[in-house]
Structure 1
Amino acid sequence: MTAYFFGDTAVLTGRTLRHVTRSMDTIITTVITPVAMMLMFVYVFGGAIDTGSVSYVNYMLPGILLMTIASGISYTAYRLFTDVKSGIFERFQSMPIARSGVLWAHVFTSLVANL
């Protein structure tokens, strides 16, 4: 089964990407929200805090990146939970596919959605 790991993961990543593109709330929370937060904190609240000669973006960017990563992790966990509860994992276990392919597919989808 390990010989087909990459192929199985690619097919399952396509499945998960189709789920993401059909869900508008997922697109909003994983793509638009970090961009909107960055714009809001830099351009709306950016002048409220005096950072001296250093740009305010240098202070905000690490926080926004951490929130984006946390959002991606929580979304991945939620999608895995949904798959387990719907019974699709039992179907996958009855098929000759790599067991870790499902997890890696969700992880790759989360990375693609947050880039």
Structure 2
Amino acid sequence: MILGQFGVSVGTNGLVLLDATIGLYNNTPNASNLIFTIVRNAVQIFTARSSPWTGNSYEAVHLSYTDSGNPAGYYGYALVVSAIGTGNPPEIIGPLVFSGLSVS
């Protein structure tokens, strides 16, 4: 499931600082783990695994990644989540923030 996406223009020898915060709610004792993936122009560049707390719980997952080494141009970024395991995945309830900053 795509949680967010945006595009950014990158200068020569520039880099992009990416940041995401995702709010989760879990109400089951054996929730599935989640895999968060950041994609640039349909290519996976970062993944992180989150194991939700058990029981009736809220949590915020924070991700940061610096994308560097790209030639100057315009790039599209997306934040994707998928559940792994046999349990029910936690609900995404917010906040949901996905942003990037191009730095030259």
More strand by share: 2
| TM-score class normalised by the smaller sequence | under 0.3
- Kindly name which structure, 1 or 2, has the bigger radius of gyration based on alpha carbons: 1
User: What TM-score, normalized to structure 2?
Assistant: 0.27
